[in-house]
Structure 1
């Protein structure tokens, strides 16, 4: 009887004196006045978040709805921010009975700068950097208490120590080289194994302290903009790390697609969304399958997850002032949600550009991911996708497996895209062995691949270090080699021309010259592409913009060739003066409208 009475007293005590609710964190941590998206959903982290009321100390900020969850460590609050309030920090007050707790929620004035949210286009040259492997500008953050990496002692898989300050320190190098846009692999916190790559977030709103801070990231964007360099954010909507706090304490049972021990494995059939014969179970496996166990797949059918991802993306754009987004693993996301995501983002930032990573070299499948393609529903709204088709054929070209006709054939399929000029083109990146690895010492062939990359349609991207001919291996850790000279105790500084080898300067100067040509001649960036089927492995094409006309000739033969231009009289004839843009020399055709081109080389000629 006494035991029952004690239990009654305990229950009564809990009822009369409820536990004090706590707010530990709110995401997003702030918002802005004047956003089109002015109705947002706050994710509240705390304790005993149940049976409570909420209000701001400014009644104009409306509380639309409170969502209490089965897990009372979380709650969601829908709010509406009016346009006619002052920018300042407001207090969000939560009350349960007599218990009251409050939290500061800043509502800021938007920055007014024409250099923010510029987008990127064909006039740009993108430089891809993995910050940890590029340059160490602050050795004090190489090791941070509470941040570890189980791969640290594994060869080539641990952190090298590069950071945001290192990138800031090298902006002049990038500017001098000719780069116009910088894409950093993800900088958000990755407090997990193999953390250097950045694709397994443990906090979506926080820069990894080993790279710097949120404020330093914003400074990086600002400093880049001062030098007329654009910035592209690498964004991951599909998954996070299995070390994310959500894993140990789920906000909702269906926050992820499955659990650590019971989930679908990723299916890599990206063509499934246009396959009219596909079964729904296969589509489900693509969208809900996990890459690996260490990267849990977010359930993007959950409306709270959807709101979180959209708001997080907008928060980073508005906070930092970036110019574009590279969306990781695009086909593995829920396609209906990603359509909504891109539509909302581009509605808020009409000038912004988004490139979706779609890892397939088959043009007919790849093209459907660009916006307004009639063969894929729903509309992706993606202005750009990664041109793996051109990359694949250029790699086979330097390996000697494909010839110029195969390149011509890929470009001849551009009718499948809604706008092929907006494709991001490349020969290597952070996931693929470098061009020089495949070239196996054939520098002339590699140069030809670069000549095509920089003179055909699209937005060319360079992987850090490839401008000095880094070779690497097919191992991820090794192909992401630290840039020589970016780290303490490096024996030499390859950022400096005098400390580069002749080989490195040869590649560097070749690319720098190509970049300068793109900047000097609008035909190479905005011009229409006209090409002719290769004859005897010689490929001729033109870039034409208004009255500016440039002819490119690619000779893939190991001997000098005479190229017959008589069939191209609509664009070039014997009366035209042909100026070699590399050396400013004038070339002439012979009486039969033929022009000579040396073995394994290219000509970039301005037609006057």
Structure 2
């Protein structure tokens, strides 16, 4: 049958209307496809029992959905007929495989949707606290445990000819292979930079997602990730997942076919650039357009900024986060670029996660060193009329103070002064403290290879307050500069062609072993003496470049003395009798030597010491 047969010879306007109607009906007659559903499964017995499925396919605009075993409460259709959103009520739902039936007037498509039983073991989703020490790993640069996945068909990176920007082959197996090394060092918690698929250029760092539900195959797969978490837990190690709500890669499939026009902020060709005025959220006088610019601006043109205010995307991000926690059993989350997201959404996100996992912990990356601004991001802050529900934040204030000390810009007075502002935080013990990370020049570079300064800075980091974090390689004194690709150097011995293995004592240089054993000693003391990690901090103003502080937990009392002079100093302990009380001896915890409290404590120049007062 042709158009001429069915359209009579009438005026031109009627012909056009009939033609449009014909084409419209032909369009509805097209078959539809369901290609993917996210999340791919859920679980029985979850507090999050109202879920929204994101359905990918073709010609879904006229499709309905039903199920004999699952309670479908609503089907949302959007203008883009490649997507469908299906609300399901799982309250009281038992585990099993259920059929979702997608249908129109001509055909049915049956999809099996699994509701799983939850894995319940005591060491899953444990959270992390100031009793822990976090070790930050960029997997691609740590260790290559499986050379077979170095190149994967369909995954190319145009930066491979630039060594500092290229993928080097490190992977999840490489981390598994060196868990004993981390345990021996004294680490308790491992933070891995993102592992999700980054099928794009400059993909080694993991922060440009192209699939939120898939491990990048050059790193491994979901089963291997679960194995990592399980093996870590068997060794009493915890795992922190790095999560990104703010942005995706320009090569994410969404960008070529946006589910809704407002799925991202702006468009690829027309969007706001990044605005780094993070203090606007706590500024009572801030202009609303300035605030909007901060969370709608794109970091860079190749990282589209997600619009978390879109209700479908918001649900997607919350469910994706919970899905990974439940699937893997990880113990915490580090949330990337926290202030650059819609803050109302992030509050809802954090609340949903913490509601599901009450022992969990989330640290938000907030790159500002001023406590007056930084503290406003921590949940429960009474100085704000808005609760972020975010348990922990990154303490860039301590990083700045210790970094300036290492560089010689300031002395330790600034460190003391920083801690005097802890009253601004709802919980200063739940701050992640650090000197270097994957975005900042390594500590030894900041110290210009001054080992004495380096050790003093890390002594204070590891014995004052908060949850200390160490960047991989810092424990052997890596020195690389602040260029991202350079400071993220391969760990020596982690890769097949390395000429030595710094994971072993014999493979490290004398310099590296000196730094390694310094860290190992203090980390061991943290585990043996809880006052160092979770004890109450009592400190005194810096006098003549000497900083003195005590850590107290139950009956344990530990004194720390930091001498940043180039000469020996003597400490008269009579000044601290109100703290020491009837104790009469002390033990140097670093040397194990015992002394009588009647003696003055002598501290060599540029040294940090700690003493158990008994």
TM-score (normalizing by structure 1): 0.97
**Secondary structure in 1 aligned to 2:154?**
coil
Are the equivalent residues in 1 in contact too, given 2:439–2:482 (CA < 8 A)? no
Q: Which residue of 2 aligns with 1:75?
A: 84
**CA deviation map 1:83-138 (0-9, x unaligned):** 242x2222211001021112121110000111111000111111110000000011
**Among candidates 469, 475, 486, match of residue 494 of structure 2:** 486
1:245 aligns with 2:253: yes
Matched ranges for 1:460-539 at <5 A: 460-539=468-547
Aligned to 1:558: 566
Distance 2:191 2:605 in 1: 35
Indicate yes or no: 2:164 matched with 1:143.
no
Q: Counterpart of 2:377?
A: 369
Range with greater deviation from structure 2 (571-580 or 473-482) = 571-580
Distance in 1 between residues matched to 2:257 and 2:466, nearest whole Å = 45
| Equivalent pair of 2:585/2:597 in contact (CA under 8 Å) | no
- Structure 1 window deviating more from structure 2 (190-199 vs 562-571): it is 562-571
Counterpart in 2 of 1:452?
460
1:15 aligns with 2:25: yes
2:130 corresponds to 1:122 = yes
State the Cα distance separating 1:578 from its structure 2 match: 1.3
Change (3 A) 1:33 1:569: same
Mapped pair 1:282 → 2:290: yes
Q: 1 CA distance for matches of 2:3 and 2:85? A: 39
Q: Please tell me whether the aligned partners of residues 574 and 589 of structure 1 are also in contact (alpha carbons under 8 angstroms).
A: no
Instruction: Note if 1:356 corresponds to 2:364.
Output: yes
* Paired position in structure 2 for 1:587: 595
Residue 505 of structure 1: how far off its partner (Å): 0.3
1:330 aligns with 2:338: yes
For residue 566 of structure 1, report the CA deviation from its aligned partner: 2.9
| SS at structure 2 position matched to 1:93 | strand
Query: Does residue 394 of structure 1 match 2:394?
Result: no
Long gaps (5+) in structure 2 = 8-17
Q: Please state how far the C-alpha of 1:12 moved relative to its aligned partner.
A: 4.8
The count of corresponding residues between Structure 1 and Structure 2 is 603
Question: How many Å separate the matches in 1 of 2:97 and 2:303?
Answer: 36
Native 8 Å contact 1:189 1:201 kept in 2: yes
1:596 and 2:602 equivalent? Answer: yes
Contact residue 273 and residue 376 of structure 1 kept, 8 A = no
1:412 aligns with: 420
| Structure 1 counterpart of 2:227 | 219
Aligned match of 2:42: 31
**Aligned-residue offset at 1:535:** 0.8
Aligned pair in 2 of structure 1 residues 342, 400: CA closer, same or farther (>3 Å)?
same
Match of 1:50 in 2: 61
**How far has the Cα of 1:449 moved from its partner?**
0.5
Task: Compare 395-404 and 103-112 and name the one that shifted more.
Answer: 395-404
Q: Give the Å deviation of 1:572.
A: 2.8
C-alpha distance after superposition, 1:41-86 (max 9, x if no partner): 000000110222211242xx1111111111100010101124242x
User: Is the alpha carbon distance of 1:441 and 1:54 closer, same or farther for their aligned partners in structure 2, counting shifts above 3 Å?
Assistant: same
**Is the 1:566–1:573 contact (alpha carbons within 8 Å) kept by the matching residues of 2?**
no
Question: Measured at CA, do residues 402 and 590 of structure 1 come closer, stay the same or move farther in structure 2, by a change above 3 Å?
Answer: farther
Pick aligned residue for 2:411 from 372, 379, 403: 403
Q: Which position in structure 2 is the counterpart of 1:228? A: 236
Which secondary structure does the structure 1 equivalent of 2:51 belong to? strand
Q: Output aligned runs, 1:260-275, within 5 Å.
A: 260-275=268-283
Three-state SS of the structure 2 residue aligned to 1:308 is helix
Write the mapping of 1:192-203 to structure 2, written as runs, cut at 5 A: 192-203=200-211
Instruction: Work out the CA distance in 2 between the residues paired with 1:134 and 1:2.
Output: 66
Alignment correspondent of 2:52: 41
Aligned residues of 1:274 and 1:375 also touching (Cα < 8 A): no
CA distance in 1: counterparts of 2:2 and 2:390, whole angstroms: 69
- Distance in 1 between residues matched to 2:58 and 2:2, nearest whole Å: 32
Change (3 A) 1:53 1:440: same
1:283 shift after superposition: 0.2
| Aligned ranges 1:154-193 → 2 under 5 Å | 154-193=162-201
CA-CA distance at 1:588 after TM superposition:
3.9
Secondary structure of the residue aligned to 2:541 is strand
3-state SS of paired residue (2:578): coil
The structure-2 alpha-carbon separation of the partners of 1:6 and 1:128, relative to structure 1 and needing over 3 Å to count, comes to farther
Q: Does 1:576 align with 2:584?
A: yes
Who is 1:95 aligned against? 103
Larger mean CA deviation between 562-571 and 37-46 belongs to 562-571
Give the equivalent residue in structure 2 for 1:62: 71
Give secondary structure in 2 for the equivalent of 1:25.
Answer: strand
Aligned with 1:307 (options 304, 312, 315): 315
Structure-2 change in CA distance of 1:510 and 1:250 (3 Å): same
2-structure distance, mates of 1:4, 1:521: 91
CA spacing shift, 1:327–1:174, aligned 2, 3 Å: same
For residues 385 and 71 of structure 2, the distance between their equivalents in structure 1, rounded to whole angstroms, comes to 36
**Aligned partner of residue 579 in structure 2, secondary structure:** coil
SS in 1 for 2:37: strand
Q: Is residue 112 of structure 2 the alignment partner of residue 104 of structure 1?
A: yes
Partners of 1:548 and 1:4 lie apart in 2 by: 96
User: Normalising by structure 2, what TM-score?
Assistant: 0.96
Q: Is the 8 A contact 1:237 1:327 kept in 2?
A: yes
* Structure 1: gaps (5+ residues): none
Displacement of 1:582 in angstroms is: 1.1
6-15 or 418-427: bigger deviation? 6-15
In 1, Cα distance between equivalents of 2:183 and 2:30: 58
1:606 paired with 2:612, answer: yes
Whole-Å separation in 2 of the counterparts to 1:155 and 1:2: 62
**What whole-Å deviation, never above 9, does each CA across 1:308-336 have from its counterpart, x for those lacking one?**
00000000000001110001111111111
The separation in 1 between residues aligned to 2:581 and 2:74, in whole angstroms, is 72
C-alpha deviations, 1:550-570, integer Å up to 9, x for none? 000000000011223333221
- Kept in 1, the 8 Å contact 2:98–2:113? The answer is yes
How far did 1:3 drift? 5.3
